[in-house]
C-alpha cells in the first residue's frame, strides 16, 4: 500500500480556548479515493474540511499533503463550499474561469486552451447555454453545478466538498449525486481518479458516493469508525435499491443514532 495522500495525525482544533471542535483526529486519506465524512451536527466536519483547505490553522497535531505540512490554502486543493460561494458579479463563465484566469491553475495554458477547458467544464456539468447568466438568475441546482464546474475547471489534485448537495431538493440531489460520480470518474480506473473528501450529514449520500466513510462523533469531534463501502462501481439506481446499500446505511445509522437523537434535544 502506497503512502497516504493526506495524513491527519492527532489533529485538534479548539475555538477561543474552550470550545473543542475536533479532538485528536488521526486519519489517512488515500490517493484517488472518495472519502466521505459523516456525523451529527456539531461533530466538526466543516472544521476538518476548512483545516484541510488551509483556511483554518490547527490548534495541535499535524496535517500533511504528500508528506509536506499544510500551511495555508493552495490551488492543488479545490474547495466547494456549502452555499456555493459563487461570485455574484460574475457570470457562469466568469465564475468557472476565475481560478484559471487569476489563480496559478491557469499558468502554462494558452488563452485558447483555457477557453476550451472552461467550455468543456460548463458542458460537462450540463450548463451549456447558460454561460452569460448571473448566479442570481439560476436555480439552486444550477448554482450547485456552477460551483462544481468552478471546482473542476482548475483540475485540483484534491477535491474538498462541504455538504455541496445539502441545500437541494431530494430529486435534484439524486441526479447530482449520479453526475458527481460521473464527473469524478467512477467509470475510469481508480488510479486516474482524483482524491475527494466529501462532508455530508446524509448517511445514504455518503454510502452511495464513497469508497470509505469516516464517522465522527460530536462534542468534541472524534473519529468513531471508518467503514469500507465495498459496493461495486459504477454505482447508480440499482445500488440505491440493493440490500447491501441498506445494510451499510443501517450500520452507520446505528453508530450515530444516539448522538443524533441527543442533538435534536438541544
Partner 1 sequence: MRLGGVLVYLRTMALFVLAWYVGSLLVPSKLLLPSPLAVAAALRDTGLNGELFGNALISLVRLLASLLAAAAIAVPLGLLMGRSRLWNDLLELPVEMLRPIAGIAWIPLALYLFGIGHRLPLFIMFYTAFFPLLVGTAAGAAAVDKRLIAAARTMGLSGPSIMRRVIVPAALPAILVSARLAVAASWTAVVAAELVGAPNGLGYAIEYYRSMLSTPTVMAFIVTIGVLGFLTDKGLRQLSKVLTPWAQTGAAR
- Asked if residues 113 and 62 have their Cβ atoms less than 8 Å apart, the reply is no
- Compare residues 18 and 89 and give the one whose CB is closer to partner 1: 89
Binding flag, residue 134, partner 1 (CB under 8 A) = yes
Binding flag, residue 208, partner 1 (CB under 8 A) = no
Binding flag, residue 98, partner 1 (CB under 8 A) = yes
Report in angstroms how near the CB of residue 5 gets to partner 1 at its nearest: 17
- Compare residues 77 and 219 and give the one whose CB is closer to partner 1: 77
Three-state DSSP at 79 gives strand
Binding flag, residue 155, partner 1 (CB under 8 A) = no
- Compare residues 121 and 186 and give the one whose CB is closer to partner 1: 121
Identify residues 29-48 at the interface with partner 1 (CB under 8 A): none
Q: What's the grid cell of residue 166?
A: 445539502
DSSP structure string for 116-174:
HHHHHHHHHTT-TT-TT--GGGS-HHHHHHHHHHHHHHT--SEEEEESTTTTS-HHHHH
Binding flag, residue 137, partner 1 (CB under 8 A) = yes
Report in angstroms how near the CB of residue 228 gets to partner 1 at its nearest: 29
- Asked if residues 83 and 76 have their Cβ atoms less than 8 Å apart, the reply is no
CA–chain centroid gap for 174, Å, is 16
Q: What are phi and psi of 130, to 5 degrees?
A: -110, 15
Stretch that binds partner 1, among 3-11, 79-87, 204-212, 221-229 (CB under 8 A): 79-87
CB atoms within 10 A of CB 6: 22
- Asked if residues 220 and 25 have their Cβ atoms less than 8 Å apart, the reply is no
18, 69, 89, 230: which one binds partner 1 (CB under 8 A): 89
Identify residues 159-188 at the interface with partner 1 (CB under 8 A): 160
Residues that bind partner 1 in the complex, under the rule CB under 8 A: 53-55, 72-75, 77-79, 81, 83, 85, 87-90, 98-99, 102-105, 134-137, 154, 160
Amino acid at each position: 500500500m502506497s503512502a497516504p495522500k493526506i495524513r491527519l495525525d492527532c489533529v485538534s482544533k479548539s475555538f477561543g480556548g474552550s470550545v473543542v471542535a475536533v479532538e485528536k483526529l488521526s486519519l489517512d486519506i488515500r490517493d484517488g479515493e472518495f472519502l466521505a465524512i459523516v456525523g451529527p451536527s456539531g461533530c466538526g466536519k466543516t472544521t476538518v474540511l476548512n483545516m484541510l483547505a488551509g483556511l483554518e490553522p490547527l490548534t495541535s497535531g499535524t496535517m500533511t499533503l504528500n508528506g509536506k505540512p499544510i500551511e495555508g490554502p493552495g490551488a492543488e486543493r479545490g474547495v466547494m463550499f456549502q452555499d456555493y460561494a459563487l461570485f455574484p458579479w460574475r457570470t457562469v463563465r466568469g465564475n468557472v474561469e476565475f481560478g484559471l484566469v487569476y489563480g496559478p491553475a491557469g499558468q502554462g495554458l494558452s488563452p485558447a486552451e483555457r477557453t476550451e477547458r472552461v467550455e468543456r467544464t460548463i458542458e460537462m456539468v450540463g450548463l451549456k447555454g447558460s454561460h452569460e447568466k448571473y448566479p442570481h438568475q439560476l436555480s439552486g441546482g444550477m448554482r450547485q453545478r456552477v460551483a462544481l464546474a468552478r471546482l473542476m475547471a482548475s483540475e485540483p489534485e484534491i477535491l474538498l466538498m462541504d455538504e455541496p448537495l445539502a441545500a437541494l431538493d431530494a430529486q435534484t440531489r439524486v441526479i447530482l449525486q449520479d453526475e458527481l460520480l460521473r464527473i469524478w470518474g467512477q467509470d475510469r480506473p481508480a488510479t486516474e481518479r482524483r482524491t475527494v473528501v466529501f462532508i455530508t450529514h446524509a448517511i445514504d449520500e455518503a454510502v452511495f458516493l464513497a469508497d470509505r466513510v469516516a464517522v465522527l462523533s460530536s462534542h468534541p469531534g472524534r473519529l468513531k469508525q471508518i467503514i469500507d463501502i465495498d459496493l461495486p462501481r459504477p454505482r447508480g439506481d440499482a445500488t440505491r435499491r440493493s440490500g447491501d446499500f441498506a445494510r451499510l446505511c443501517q450500520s452507520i445509522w446505528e453508530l450515530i443514532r444516539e448522538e443524533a437523537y441527543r442533538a435534536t434535544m438541544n
